[in-house]
Structure 1
Amino acid sequence: MKRWYLIPILFLLFTLPLLGKGTREIEPLPSREPLDVGNRFVIAVQQSQDPIYLDPVGATDTTSLLVLDGLFEGLFSLDPTTAEPILALAKEASVSDDGLVWTFLLDKEARFSNGDPIDAEALIESWLWLLDRSKHGEGNTYLVSMMGCIEGVEAYMNGTGSRSSIGITSRNPSHIQISLQTAAPYLPAMLGTTSFAAIHESLRNGGVPPEPTEMVCSGPYRIETITEKEILLSKHAWYRDYESVPSDYIQFRFMDQVSIFESYLNREIDWSLAYIPRELLRAPQDLRITPEYSTGFYYFSSDTDTYMDERVRRALDILIPWDEIRTASGQVFPTSHLIPNHDKPFVA
């Protein structure tokens, strides 16, 4: 009998110190009013064979990025009206006179959706994770190329530098300094994209990805439910600027074109990502068009004998009335510059 009791006692003696290591005081969940089920913003999305990709670094399609935009947040976010960068996790931002040193002070109230603090280490490790994934051929490599303005990034990416040589440092949990080798006025806009958001370590540890509803987020929302027909996001209590988030829920509904039109007529949706023809609108002001740079493609399969002949493809390129096709769409306009100008967006 003595041996029976000895094993649990020894086990406790060895495990108690381990259990105490690395623990932190658990803060109580902030007291909030219950979420209002009726306070939801409904977005209609046309059904597609492409799945929603809930990877803040790897997603590239519009719908996935729109969902992720509510789930993840970085030093900046993008104003929903002007698309200009505005302060988010950064409470203050300043830049040196020569434009080479950016300094950020973080909001000390910032928390992930599970209550963990969002500090300088969480952000810096998220950016380094982006670099590491790109080195292995994963993620948005074009965004990583924009990080080449940061000291030490190019050397790290080509294997001639170390992590410690990258010009991203922190003096304390609320401070981040980024040193550039060339001035980059676009830095705030870049840091406002989802790829540069704060990513919780549970998503960076290389383990099995959590279920979507268990995913720890840094933005104002978390995933409440997800099915083939809809994704429902709910506002989480830990969000630093909780009271300024207008909608308690954001609902993405995946529907065919006819269902979207019927839902629009019945006032069941607030925003349609699918185009509704002008002649079918309840009111002209319901259609909001914002110019953006885009490139479209018409392509022909060269697997068949006819199109395998380069001369045939060149002939088609000459014969197709491109200007008529562009005009018929009603949504394509010639422009004189890469980025739309809100004062003079188009050149006739």
Structure 2
Amino acid sequence: MSAVNDTKFNSAVFLLTGIPGQEDVHLWISVSFCLVYVISIVGNSVILFIIKTDASLHEPMYIFLSMLAITDLGILISTMPTILGIYLFNSREISFEACFAQLFFIHSLQLNESSMLLLMAFDRFVAICNPLRYTSILTVQTIDNMGLISVLRSLTVIFPIPFLLKRFRYCRANVLSHSYCLHAEVMKMACSDISVNSIYGLFITFLTVGLDLLLILLSYVMILNTALSIASNAECLRALNTCVSHLCAVLLFYTPMIGLSVIHRFGKGSSPLLQTVLSYISLLLPPLINPIVYSMKSRHLRAGISRALVKCRVSS
């Protein structure tokens, strides 16, 4: 009887879900998602183009920003096929292999974004607390090494997860509550003991995202202490103003991610709509808002965009 039941329920696919209770207006919702993707991809691509082509922006702050933009583009590309597939074509099925691959890229890119935010906090810390050694500390070679270590860390800690998930038996309905695959949700679909996955997930969350956030907070404590010690109020405000864009990026990234993680593990009675909205915010809002905030707050980046527009007009 057990073998019969396994054959009956162990399907080869997961079923993804859109916004609960809004199935009748999926086509209209798809318009909003299409706009979000277009604006996000164009915004981050413009940031990358301007930083690459404008020699005056080849500084540590903007190099880290370009790394953040690449990571945001990766997140958009990882989530776009399944999200638009659901809302445009009602395509809900995703194979186990595709699901495991998607969650690998989503989680590794999220961890890499956390690393980028930490590196950008370190950049602001050095610029404000030790400005005389800024260029000697953040050399091109050092920046490249920091970026490489961040990528390797993200890939290394997420690499075991698809293999840990693949060893399970899935004998339930396999209906996921999001439009893409996440580790915390996929492992709950298993009929096996998931304690190893649960412990490992918590471990890497605290070791990576938790540690990054702690170091970012520590860096801003030291930045604030240094800024307040500056005699001139104008110079103090000018120094803190250079951190506004980064602080917005930190809040946009960590707040919904932490909230979603807590709900997945402890909020069994929480609203499915709340989970869905938080999941979209955590993945799609940072790539959308980051280019806008940095373009508005960075005078040098705005100048670079203006020069690029002038060149386009002249050449046309």
Do these two structures clear the TM 0.5 threshold for a shared fold by scoring above it? no
Structure with higher strand content:
1
Higher relative contact order (CA 8 A, sep 6+): 2
Scaled by the length of structure 1, the TM-score of the pair is 0.22
Structure with higher helix content:
2
Scaled by the length of structure 2, the TM-score of the pair is 0.24
